[in-house]
Structure 1
Amino acid sequence: MKALHVITGLGVGGAERQLRLLLRHLPIGCDVVTLTNPGPVAAGIRADGRRVLHLGMRGNRDMSALPRLTGLIRRERYDLVHTHLYRACLYGRTAARLAGVRAVVATEHSLGDAHIEGRPLSNSARAMYLATERLGATTIAVSATVARRLREWGVPHPRIETIPNGIEAARFRFDPAARRTARNRLAIPADAFTVGAVGRLVPGKRFDALVRAVAQVPPARLLLVGDGPERAALRRLAERLGAADRVVFAGECDEERTPSADRPGVAAMLSAMDVFVSPSTEEAFGLAVLEALAAGLPVLHVTCPAVDELPEDEAPGARRVAPEPAALAAALRAHHHTWALGLPTRLPVPRAVERYDIGRSADRLMAVYERATALATADHPK
């Protein structure tokens, strides 16, 4: 089987990182085409030995991308096309059908109740999504929450398959040496109580609420790992609150980098933290929370389907909190009190992490691929 993965872009993000990780575990030949932005994740996929092609799409309405993608699929004779993220789903499903490929699978990574990939939902976006969804065989939801949202949007239940995201838990295991390296590079004192968060610095992640909360808990430090359009606004907010010297912007991190590199990776950043916070009120899965749990961190989250959909005893280190800055601050004070007493803050890795092993996700995805190609062959024998 030869598969093509079509994704909107390959900058640093949860869907992009998840695609790279899946490609390592899929036992078939796979190429990747990115419609826009062949960013850091593209370089990583190439380093793993997979081919990445850049379609050079200039915007949402660049219709010249459609014949180019159709020609690529037809020329390379792919057996299956797998699309990721909204724009890639629209163009990828259509191009696959025009090229004669009927084994088409899509993964819905970022559908919220009111937003998709950080943008407000609209009737026109829904109509276009549903029109192209009919051209595929299966739409994969990364959580039961996303599956519910897809049904409410109008995707027929039999066409939805839930396959959760996965991680390689060992990559995030707590490492004291990595903690020292990361803190030294970021000028965070070894004895500083450090709150951490990972994600794109965009309004939907609500890192402004976390900055406000940390400002109420001196002398806590905040380590923000990620980049995005809200970075300058968050810096100004920290300055207005008198907490600029306690908020560290680490920028984007490649999870593949070793702790001794000039820019420590996500795993090293997690080792540098004492408590992890996810302040977003709308998530499709919550990959960063899962990685934090794999690092043995206590976690405060407003919402996280990866944890909220499990029995409570599978992730005892994760605590759900209200979204207001005052509630976040109160929870952080409790963690600071535990830390100040010298009590252990690193926790055993919970069962929830084992449940989301990337190998399991890849195995389930391969079963979907096999059904899709078998159905396509039965309906349209060569």
Structure 2
Amino acid sequence: MRALHVITGLGAGGAEQQLRLLLRHLPGTHDVVTLTNPGQVADGLRQDGVRVADLRMAGNRDLGALPRLTRLVRTGRYDIVHTHLYRACLYGRIAARLAGVPGIVATEHSLGDTQIEGRPLTQGVRALYLAGERLGRATIAVSPAVAGRLHRWGVAPHRVHVVPNGVDVDRFAFDAGARATTRARYGLPPDAFVIGGVGRLVPGKRFGVLIEALAQLPDDVRLLLVGTGPEETALEAAARAAGVRDRVVFTGERPHTARTAAAGPDLPALFSAMDLLASPSTDEAFGLAVVEAQASGLPVVHVHCPALDDLPGARRPGDTVRVPCEAASFARETETARTRPPAPRTPARAALHYSIARSAARHLGVYEAALGAAPTPGVNTR
């Protein structure tokens, strides 16, 4: 099987990380084209031996990118074109249809109740999304919550396949040496209690709530914000206004493997440096950072996480707490966590449930269904 993955960008983000991890576990030949921003994940993919092309798209309305993408797809003689993220799903599906690709699959990573990838769900955005969806053969939803939203929009249930994100649990195992090294690199005292926030610094992630919570906590508590985005300057200003700027660390865009660690440690090392993962976002499609934190054995305080809600047996892990999106609640739960006796940092049930091997097998089943082939025995794509 030859597959081309089309993605909007390859900077540091959950969908981009997930694509790289998935390609390490899928059989066949897989190439990647990014419409724009060939960032850190592009470098990592190339290190893994994946061929990556940059379409150099100038913006959402750069229609000249469409014939370039169509030629690239046609030349590659791909069996599957798999698109990721809003802009790539639209342009990639059209190009794949024009090139005559038999199997067109998209993954919906970021569809919330009120936004998709940070943009409001206006009537125009929704109409364009649905028009593009009809050009494909199947849409992968990263959670039942996303599948339900697609169904309510009018996407036929037989076209939607629930395939949760996957986590490489061993990679996120707690590492005491990495904890010490990472804390030293970022100026975090060895005895500080460190709250972590992981994700794009955009309004929907609500990281300002954590800054407000930090101002209510003792001086030995620190906040480590992992990621970058347009809200970084505003968050720095909020930290200064709250009098806690010296207690907040912004890592910027983080690398994904030790081999690209010139600018800082990788994501598992950052989780090892934390004592608690806080997720104030009110509108998540899956909650990948929460599951990765659970793989590192971290307790979690969160507002919304479909990945936890969808665990079989409706039993939430005992080391996760759901709270309202308000600073006082995050401050209260942080204070509870920091006064609790230390516990071993072992992977939690949530992380073990969402293995990348299982996710890859289910992706393969979707590809086979999109090509009209008999599914691999034992692979459930629902």
The bucket for the TM-score relative to the shorter chain is over 0.9
Shift of 1:102: 2.9
Shift of 1:26: 0.6
TM-score relative to the length of structure 2: 0.94
Aligned to 1:331: 333
TM-score relative to the length of structure 1: 0.94
- Relative to structure 2, which stretch is displaced further, 108-117 or 66-75? 66-75
Aligned to 2:307: 306
Distance, in Å, in 2 between the alignment partners of 1:366 and 1:314 is 29
Contact 1:294 1:350 in 2 (8 A): yes
Unaligned runs of 5+ in 2: 375-382
SS of residue matched to 1:316: coil
Q: Which amino acid aligns with 2:305?
A: C
Aligned to 1:380: none
Q: Which amino acid aligns with 1:354?
A: L
SS of residue matched to 2:278: strand
Distance, in Å, in 2 between the alignment partners of 1:63 and 1:304 is 36
Distance, in Å, in 1 between the alignment partners of 2:339 and 2:357 is 39
SS of residue matched to 1:374: coil
Superposition RMSD on alpha carbons, in Å?
1.6
Q: Which amino acid aligns with 1:228?
A: G
Aligned to 1:2: 2
- Which digits, 9 at most, give the CA deviation of each residue in 1:249-275, with x for residues without a partner? 122211312798651111111111111
Distance, in Å, in 2 between the alignment partners of 1:60 and 1:166 is 29
Distance, in Å, in 2 between the alignment partners of 1:208 and 1:258 is 32
Aligned to 1:317: 319
Shift of 1:75: 1.4
Distance, in Å, in 2 between the alignment partners of 1:273 and 1:75 is 47
Contact 1:316 1:350 in 2 (8 A): no
Q: Which amino acid aligns with 1:333?
A: E
Aligned to 2:359: 361
Q: Does 1:279 align with 2:280?
A: yes
Aligned to 2:378: none
SS of residue matched to 1:5: strand
Contact 1:178 1:260 in 2 (8 A): no
Contact 1:164 1:356 in 2 (8 A): yes
Aligned to 2:290: 289
Q: Which amino acid aligns with 2:277?
A: F
Aligned to 1:202: 202
Structure 1 residues 42 and 259: alpha-carbon distance in aligned structure 2, compared to 1, 3 A threshold = closer
Aligned to 2:18: 18
SS of residue matched to 1:237: helix
Question: What is the correspondence of 1:118-197 to structure 2 with a 5 Å cutoff?
Answer: 118-197=118-197
How many residues end up aligned between the 2 structures? Answer: 372
Aligned to 1:62: 62
Structure 1 residues 242 and 345: alpha-carbon distance in aligned structure 2, compared to 1, 3 A threshold = farther
Shift of 1:25: 0.6
Question: What is the correspondence of 1:45-84 to structure 2 with a 5 Å cutoff?
Answer: 45-84=45-84
Structure 1 residues 358 and 260: alpha-carbon distance in aligned structure 2, compared to 1, 3 A threshold = same
Contact 1:20 1:45 in 2 (8 A): yes
Aligned to 1:223: 224
Contact 1:141 1:163 in 2 (8 A): yes
